[in-house]
A and B are shown apart, each in its own frame.
Chain A
Amino acid sequence: MVDYVFDGSFGGLLTAVFESFERKHTQVRLLLQGQTHNAFGEVFNIHPDPVKADRVWKGLQKKTGDVGCKNYYKAFLSEDPVIFQHLMDYALYIFHHGEGHAMNFGNDHVLAIAQMARKVHREKHRMEAFVRFQKSSDGLFFALIYPDYNVLPLIVPHFKNRYADQAWLIYDEKRKYGIHYDLAQVHEVKLGLQSVQDLSPAHTAINIEEKEVLYSSLWRTYFKSTNIVERKNMKLHVQHVPKRYWRYLTEKGDVEE
């Protein structure tokens, strides 16, 4: 067993796969920088290499197709060390076997990646639903999110296609970066914010537009009025809108009347 230490990036993961082939290491323990590694055995530091990563990616595309690659990337976005190991082993398994093995759900790695990809996909869909924009005085629509997985890269196309005529910013509070659409392209941005309180005018120069208060409170009014009290079913409500998302949802604030 050999230890590989990588930086947690997707390029780093694919480079690690490449290196394991190059060095004929069939059993690799993949570790993140900072994780304790084997004190006595061999340790390799993986430096992400775009050329090597690209070759592995192309190989995966050939063996597993677009859907297989999408799932591979989605599972990676879980940021889960256990899944990183599965991704490593999965790649080796795929390259050592013929085509079609990406559908062998009897294999632990194949199953683990399929299941995780589904979870990440669900979180992506939730964010497409739960993002709540606020409008700033200079016309920027901004939103804070705190997703379970790193889904920002996955939601870019949806928001870009839908809100093509308004500038927007979606900021992941947990991972401290955001995506910003400037009416032409989407860029990754870092604001250096520490918490939601920091998103005040003093820190970010974002001023809330005057009418924003009106529309957010009208939305809360609507949310309350469209409820049918006689059918109340809080269990179902919480199942669909888990409590951890509530503090980012405009409608879960109090109705000001």
Chain B
Amino acid sequence: MERIREKLQILADAAKYDVSCSSSGSSRKNTNKGIGDTGSGICHSYTEDGRCVSLLKILLTNYCIYDCAFCVSRHSNDIKRAAFTVDEVVELTMNFYRRNYIEGLFLSSGIFKNADYTMERMLKIVKKLRLEENYNGYIHLKTIPGASEELVTEAGLYADRMSINLEMPTEAGLKMLAPEKSHEEVKKELAVIRDKSIQYKDEKKLIRSVPKFVPAGQSTQMVVGATPESDQEIMHTADSYYKSFSLKRVYYSGYIPISNDTRMPIIGTQPPLIRENRLYQTDWLMRFYGFNVKEILNDQHPNLDLDIDPKLSWALRNPHFFPVDINQADYQAILRVPGIGVSSAKKIVSARKFGKLHIYQLRKLGIAYNRAQHFIRCADSPFQLNEKEPHRIKGIILQNSQSKYMKSQPNQLSLF
């Protein structure tokens, strides 16, 4: 009993740097009075770092033949090692699930012996859950780099989501810290799942009984701040992977120093939380706001501002785009106004059919008017002789807004 607790401690601790905890996007139904289903995802709890706990996120083992400098489980690291048995993982998952602690299992692993040996064990676990326990809850399975196509494909029949991490935003960064790994290998595995997904979907159109294949899609993760890549390099990589492999998500994980390796930030350095946040904001702008990554990050502007968000930053660099007339402009233009989000933009477009919108209505609809006012015109906007300079607008907004990062001085941060 105490052994299982120790294993759980070690293997949960080692798995926690994988940030994905999504449990949505699948639609597995409970069949034959079995156990579990999936839907729009539920966060069952939140840790003290404010991250959601949706899945039981563990490694099968933290023994690893690789020696990736950024990884806490690297071969040369002197830490306690442990490995779950197949039955232990199944029992933990089922017992946690039955008590409504979790939405499902997130299973990753260090690589012991070789890739296929590890992948086979993981496959055994998901098969046992699905076939013997009649379990229909969520399963997120990490693909082991270098595992054979047959194993990966078979696993896809039981998992809801599969992922494989790029680890570093560029091949050069990866080669520096993890010479045994390569982006080529990641691309190969991503392509296998992508192509099989398309194939299964096509077949399902003709034959209804064709099983689901990775119904919640694929995702990947990059560590940010361990190597000196610019935000431009990070987001351009993300963009190309979104496009080439139709990924559901790219996750950005601010590097938390876990090693005395002098090639990376030393232990005790604060993780780059603001930068991580700005990258996610950029990711959202690309996926939901119709921005091209080149508009936000380019050679003239290779890094995101830390003191203001990327949308505001883009608006200040493009004053010719504004003011946007709320009562005339199309949806895409309204979406680009700082302080207006997707749902407000939709409300505006449908509400203005019933009459011209005024300031009080915009406030009621839920837009951040104090921010948006500098960029819009509506029915009763005050007349202005000439537009304010971008740097003045930035000053006003920073003065009047309370950032959650206020503790850190904005002007100091912008130095690097």
Contact = CB atoms under 8 A, between A and B. Distances in A.
Interface of A: 125, 128-135, 141, 143, 161-166, 183, 211, 214-219, 221-223, 225-237, 239-241, 249-251, 257
Given A135-B98, A143-B100, A218-B92, A237 B30 contact: no
Contacts of B17: 228
A141 B99 contact: yes
Given A163-B98, A222-B56, A222-B96, 17 more contacts: A129-B45, A163-B35, A219-B101, A221-B8, A221-B12, A225-B12, A226-B57, A227-B47, A228-B16, A228-B51, A228-B256, A233-B48, A233-B50, A237-B46, A237-B50, A249-B45, A251-B101
A231 B30 contact: no
Contact of A218 (B4, B34, B49, B51): B4
B146 interface: no
Contacts of B124: none
A230 B265 CA distance: 14
A230 B50 CA distance: 12
B53 interface: yes
Nearest to B103: A129
Nearest to B276: A231
A234 B47 CA distance: 9
Query: 10 closest A-B pairs (Cβ-Cβ)?
Result: A236-B50, A231-B49, A225-B12, A240-B46, A233-B50, A227-B47, A164-B33, A133-B99, A225-B13, A215-B95
Nearest to B50: A236
Contacts of B305: none
Contact of B134 (A132, A165, A227, A229): A165
Interface of B: 1, 4-5, 8-9, 12-13, 15-17, 29-30, 33-37, 42-53, 56-57, 92, 95-96, 98-101, 134, 256, 270-271, 273
Contacts of A135: 98-99
Contacts of A161: 29-30, 37
A164 B98 CA distance: 10
B5 A257 contact: yes
A231 B33 CA distance: 41
A231 B46 contact: no
B93 to A, nearest CB: 11
B100 A132 contact: yes
Contact of B98 (A130, A133, A230, A257): A133
A218 B8 contact: yes
A42 B134 CA distance: 62
Nearest to B267: A230
Contacts of B30: 161-162, 164
Contacts of A164: 30, 33-35
A234 B48 contact: yes
Contacts of B256: 228, 230-231
